[in-house]
Every structure is written in C-alpha cells, then in structure tokens.
Amino acid sequence: MQTAPDLSPWLLWIIKIRFVIITLVFALDFAIRVLAPAPGVGGSVGQLGAVVVLWYCLGLFYLMYYQLSRDYVLQAYLQIFSDLLMITAVVHVTGDLASNYLSLYWVAVIMASVLLPRTRAFLVAAVAFVCMGSLLELAYLPSLYPSLASRHPWTAGLENTSTLLVDARTLGVKIFASLLGFFAVAYLSSYLGESLRRARLALRDKAGEVASLHALNENIIRSIRSGLIATDLHGIVQELNPAGAEILGCQVSEVKGQPVAKIFPALASDEDTPPEPAHGQEGPPQASVPLPDAAVAFNRREITYATCRGETRILGISASPLTGAEGTALGCIYTFQDLTEEKRREAEYRAKDRMATLGRMAASIAHEIRNPLASIAGSARLLQTIGDADRAALFDIVRRESARLERLVSNFLAYSREERFNFQEVDLVALLSETLLLVEQHPLFVEGCRLVRVFPDHPVPVRADPDKLQQVVWNLCDNATKAMGQQACPADHTLTVQVEAEAERVVRLIVADTGPGFAAAQLNKLFEPFHSSFANGTGLGLALVRRVVEGHGGTVSVDSEPGKGTRIVVELPSTEENLNVGPGDRATIHSRPIELVQSASDS
C-alpha cells in the first residue's frame, strides 16, 4: 500500500480530474439534449444540474479537506465511495440503462486502483457493481414486477426515467456483463497501479542513490587538494573545483564556459617558453603540450601559468578522456597541481647537493693533482743531473703528466660550472647517425668490434641541445668500447645503440655493450665524480652524462652484471605523441679494424 506522502500528489491530481469530468458530463449531456434531442431520454436538465452542483460542492470540500488534513488514506476512501454515489445519481437522472455515463463506474475503479492496494480496488469494483445493479433493478422493478411495485409504493420514485423497454433476461445479462467488466477493469488497472507503485518506489530509491552519489562526488571534488577541470568535447570548461580555482587565482564563475586553451595557453601553443628560474633554479625545458581531444590522454606535463595577479606558477598537469558508461566520449578531465614551491625546494636541494659534491671533488682533485706534480717536480730535478739521452724521456713524462692535469682540470671545470642549454627540436635518429659515424672513425673503436644500430624508420623528434646530447652519446660509446677493449678477444664484442619512441611522449636511447659488466657495489658509485673504472681515467664522463640528461628533463639508468655486459638507458621527453615503434625498425651492423687508444672523455 502506498504511504500517506505517496498519496498526496495523486489525491490532488484526482481532485483536479474530477472537476474536469463533472464539467464534461454536464456539457455533453446538455449539448446532446439541445443539439440532438431524442425521445425517450429520461430526466431533466434541472435534475442533472442539481447532481452536478452537488458534485462540484463535494469537489471543493475535498480540496479544502486536502489542504487541512494529512490523513490522505481516509481522504482516498471518502472520495472514491462518494464518487460512486454521485455516479449512480448521474446515471439515474440520465436514463439508467440508457445513460451514456455508465462508463464512469470504470473511471472510479481505475482511480481506486491508483490510490489503493489491489485488494481494495476489487472491493471498490464490487461496490460499484452493487450500486449499478441495485439502481437498474429498482429502476425497472415497476415494469418487470408490477405486483411487487404495487405493494411498495415508494419504489415509484425510482422508476426508470427512460422509455427504453428491457425484459428481465436482458437486464440480467447487462448486469452480469457489467460485473465481468468491473472486475476485469479492476484486475488490469490494479495490476498497472501496482506496477506503477513499484516503479515509483524503485525510482525513488534510484533517485536517492543518485543524490547520494552526486553529493559524494561533490564532496570528493571539493575535498581534493589538486585542481580539477572537466570539459566537453569542444574543450569548453564545464566544472572547476575550489582547489583548482585557488591554484589558478580566479573565481569558478570566471573559468566556466571558457575554452581550456584560454585557461592553459601552453596546452595549445606550439612552444611554451619557461620563466627565468627563481633562486638559482634549474629545470628541464618546457616541452610543448598539444591540446588533447576526448580520445587522448597524457601523463603529467610541467607548464608555466600566469595568474590574474601577475604571478608566474609552475603547474603539473595531466589529462584523461571523460567517457560515459558505454565508453562514449563526453569530454576531457584535466588535473593539475601547483609545483612552484616544490621546484624551488628542488633547486635548493640541487644547489646543496652540488656544493657537497664539489667538496668531495676538491678533496679528490687535490690527490689527483699531487701525483702528476710530484712526477713533474722529480723529472725537473733529474733534468739538472743527467745527460741528453735521458733528458728526452723525462721531457716526455712532463708532457704526458701535464696533459693529464690539463684534462683533469678541464673536466672538473666542465662539471663544476653551471650548465647552459640551447634547446631546439632535434631528430635523434639523425644526430645518432652522425655521432656514431664519428665513433666508427675514431681510433677508440676496437678492431673487429661490431656496431649495431636499431633505429625507427621515421624521425624521432626530441627537444634538446644537440651539442650536449652528442657529448652524452660520445661518452657512453667511449666507455662501452673501453670496457670491451679490456677483454681478451675484443673483436668478438658488439656495441648496440637503440632508439625506442613510446606513446607516453618518452624517447629511450639505449647503449648496450658485451663488456665485463659491473658488480652491484660499482653500480652505486657509477655516476659519482672521480669514480673511474679505467686506468688513468678522470671519473667525470658518466657524471657529466647524468648532469646533461637531467638538464634535459630526462633520466639515466644502468643495468649490468659481471660477465654479461652493460646496458645504459637514457629517457628523454619527446616533442610528439603516439610515436609507436613498429616491426619496421631497422638494424644495421658495421665492423671496422681500428685499434683502441686512450680517450680524453673517459670515465
């Protein structure tokens, strides 16, 4: 059964419908009597008017009772059963069996099915049958049973107002047919009413769940500390959370309805120019970020943003497609964080780390310089006491040790000074091809050693300083060939240089050799300054490699085991998306008999 609050809107709706039905009944009957008068139509317009006025008064009473009382169940029963009585009166004054309004009983049954439980709907159908059957029996009693009517004179007031002649059998069939009709309508309408009530309950529960989920989502969006922007398929901002408005330094209303490219110009520009570093900050280049559509997602990018107050902030932003339940594209979601303070702390940390490294380097370089100076000083003293034959050998020692000091000091200065980069878009494949050609022609390359290139068939653009990046490749290849030159049979080894372009806007440069490899203890110190694995090495080659790679916003990692060679992976941000390397990659092998000699860029 419906609860009282559920009945409230239905009762008000039925009160309104009742006024419409009453008006139609009187208007139709009046129109029939005036426009198409027919003999045998019982009753008068006055009688029908009196019934209609009474029904109107009851309708007004129901409306006032509805406003004053909250006992909607009692009102439902009162209205339905009083309607049955009024329908019976209307049917009687409009001709009983010949009335055009016998179907109003069905309307009352349908209303009962809407307001009351199913069993009560059948009860109303039974009462409607009793009212109609009693009315017809009493209306035709004088004509069908005159002897009974003569003994009860009061039945004359209920005599049929129509001239339609009906025998007892026809009247019985009519009443029985009405019985079936009433219960059939009660069955169907109550079934539909129950289905409607269940649907309303389910809808109410779902509406409650949706409201709860909506409130939960709103609370989550308001509570997260990261900024969040939701756009439609055209890139128009639909939602912005309070944290995002605080990061952007504006009001939510100022951002809604604006194109996301206007909020983040760096997403749509071909190039994002970074601000001047604050507090000695050094950071990676700001790569251009293409505006993603609903089907494209990208990982976090670092862009610059100018607030309405003129402040420049560094934001970390990522995008993902906004999809519906069936995977249909609805728009895009951008999440972003304010990285300005984090970048400042990183710059301070790097400055402190550099000072600590320089302290360690100063101690190491003092030791490294002392030994060549001792050799030079001793050779100079001996030059005063020996003849011309040995003097040439001592001069050679002075020259070699002086060159070693020059190389050591040059590498130290290169590592200690602040790096400055000239970033531009570079085709990594073309740069590697040029550099490896020089590597092949250098005396460093081991005789018979194979150089394998694994490059994509298409250009791989990266945003880099070509000179610095060429230095990285040179140092890595230099160390690899030296390591393989220490083996017993260096001609049996292979140097592999590979490029992988991934869809996540990351380009990998891989340099692998088949040299002796490194132990785990060596790997931990591989990139530290003055830690060299080769005789007469300065130990600054890989330290410079790491500085240059980090200056490009990339990372460098090493995978090595003793006796299994070394694999160094350099990851750099690309300037294009969806650069998937397919099965069409090509590998070229070159070998050349060249002797291995000492290089100045050793580690």
**Taking the C-alpha atoms of 263, 268, 274 and 275 in order, what is their torsion angle to the nearest 10 degrees?**
-30
Task: Locate 31 and state its tokens.
Answer: 């129109």
The answer to whether 580 and 492 have CB atoms below 8 angstroms apart is: no
Give me the average pLDDT of each 10-residue run along the chain (603 residues).
63 87 82 64 70 88 88 87 88 78 84 84 86 77 58 56 60 77 82 81 85 84 86 88 87 86 73 39 40 56 81 87 82 89 82 71 66 68 64 69 69 62 87 86 71 88 88 86 70 82 78 83 70 60 82 86 87 61 37 32 45
Domain edges within the chain: 4-205, 227-338, 345-416, 424-591
Q: How many CA atoms lie within 13 A of 31 on its CB side?
A: 7
Give the pair of three-digit tokens for residue 501.
């372009």
What residue type is 371 in one-letter code? N
The separation between CA 129 and the C-alpha centre of its own chain, rounded to angstroms, equals 62
Task: Please give the pLDDT value at position 278.
Answer: 37
Q: Is residue 102 a contact partner of residue 85, using CB atoms and an 8 Å limit?
A: no
Angstrom distance (rounded) from CA 167 to CA 154: 22
Tell me the CATH architecture of domain 424-591.
2-Layer Sandwich (3.30)
Phi-psi region of 578 (alpha: psi -120 to 50; beta: other; left: phi over 0): left
**What are the C-alpha distances in Å from 169 to residues 144, 149, 166, 176, 393?**
10, 19, 8, 11, 147
H or E segment and range at residue 126: helix 118-139
Could you tell me the two tokens for 156? 């004359």
What pLDDT does residue 514 have?
A: 84
Q: Mind listing the pLDDT tens digit for each residue in 569-592?
A: 998 887 654 333 333 343 333 333
Q: Which letter, b or e, does each residue of 538-571 get, where b requires 16 or more Cβ atoms within 10 Å of its Cβ? A: bbbbbbbbbbbbbbbbbebeeebeeeebbbbbbb
CATH architecture of the domain covering 345-416: Orthogonal Bundle (1.10)
Distance of CA 95 to CAs 48, 53, 530, 599, Å?
Answer: 11, 19, 118, 122
Q: List beta partners, residue 230.
A: 239, 333
Q: What is the DSSP letter of 291?
A: P
Whether the model pTM is above 0.85: no
Q: Report the half-sphere exposure of 90 (CA within 13 A, side-chain side).
A: 27
Residues with Cβ within 8 Å of 106's Cβ and at least 6 positions away in sequence, in order, are 181, 182, 185
Domain 227-338, what fold? Beta-Lactamase (3.30.450)
Tracing tokens 């951002």 back to the chain, one arrives at 255
Question: Looking at the DSSP assignment, which residues form a beta bridge with residue 461?
Answer: 427
pLDDT, residue 561, reads 83
* DSSP code, position 238: E
Phi/psi at 305 (5° precision): -140, 130
The full DSSP string for 64-107 is HHHHH---HHHHHHHHHHHHHHHHHHHHHHTTGGG-TTTTHHHH
The pairs formed by 323-328 with CB atoms below 8 angstroms and a separation of 24 or more are: 323/294
